Amino acid sequence: MVAADLLRARVLYLGAPEPKDVLLSSLPSCPKCQYEYTYEEGDQLVCPECDHRWSAVAEAEGEEELVVRDANGNVLADGDSVVLIKELKVKGAPSALKAGTKVRNIRLVDGDHNIDCKIDGFGAMALKSEFVKKA
């Protein structure tokens, strides 16, 4: 290690919180320079290497990204159109939803019925992704 590196290491050490805390945490690496020992400051993550700051909250939400698959295993996305693959009885409705009914502009949600949508003649509905396929 040359003198310049030593100096730089010391500056980083002084600029960061207790090294022990940093090492024990499982904070993500800096998205800009991949530096590992980032630290939290309020709602933000800070990289002591390049001084990049980003939102820790957004980072956490990104990891919980919802993956919803149709009956064929294709990944669905918000705004997709799907087709029902079987007839579905609808509580309170005079008729069932027929297989082949096209559903436009779906919205993915967390839960047992993981597709929110509106179907002409039925209104707002919640469907299970296993009963649809991508149109």
Site residues for Zn ion, 51-110, by CB under 5 A, read 52
By beta-carbon proximity to Zn ion, the closer residue of 33 and 126 is 33
Total Cβ atoms within 10 A of residue 33 = 11
By beta-carbon proximity to Zn ion, the closer residue of 27 and 71 is 27
Residue from 27, 28, 35, 71 in contact with Zn ion (CB under 5 A)? 35
| 49 touching Zn ion, by CB under 5 A | yes
| 8 touching Zn ion, by CB under 5 A | no
The tokens of 123 are what? 């209104």
